[in-house]
Amino acid sequence: MAKCFNCGREYEGNFCPDCGTENPKASEMPSVSETSQQNYSAPPPPPQRYTPPPVYNNVVVNNNNVTSVGGWIGWIFLISLLPLIGIIIMLCCTHDESAKNFAKAQLFFMLLGVGIVVLIFVLAAVIGAASSY
Ligand SMILES: [Zn+2]
């Protein structure tokens, strides 16, 4: 570890990554790779200009494509309250493809359940009608 005498930053290596000032201790130290250091005449590494990606982009992407935990809680609550209507609302309103597919799958099972119930009623009616005659 060396401390830059110019800006005071602690760093490793021969040059300060912030201001590019050469570390005087590094040149004093007896180095095994002395020839490679002499050949190294490139300018010090430029100061790091890492700027984190804008956060609002991620938020927009999340809002458009991924249903958040709160969103799922809302959808599940709606579906529990209004089974068929809730699923249709979810299918129409969500922008999340996987949530849309989930609503379609729920709708499939709901229609399957309705179909089975209707089938049972029809069978019961037919059996009841057959046994009464
Ligand atoms: Zn510095």
> Where in the chain are the domains?
2-39, 67-132
Ligand 1 centroid distance, CA of 34 (Å): 23
Q: What is the pLDDT of residue 55?
A: 63
Residue 9 Cα to ligand 1 midpoint, Å, equals 6
User: In whole angstroms, what is the distance from residue 10 CA to residue 19 CA?
Assistant: 12
How close is the Cα of 133 to the center of ligand 1, in Å?
Answer: 102
pLDDT at 32: 52
Residue tagged 């709901």 (tokens): 110
d(CA 18, CA 128): 89
Residue 10 CA to ligand 1 centre (angstroms): 8
**What are the average pLDDT values for consecutive 10-residue runs of the chain, which has 133 residues?**
86 88 67 54 72 59 73 92 89 89 91 95 92 73
pLDDT on residue 64: 57
What is the pLDDT, as a whole number, of residue 129?
86
pTM of the model: 0.43
Ligand 1 centroid–CA 50 distance in Å is 17
Determine the pLDDT at residue 132: 74
Q: How many angstroms is it from 14 CA to the middle of ligand 1?
A: 11
What pLDDT does residue 112 have? 94
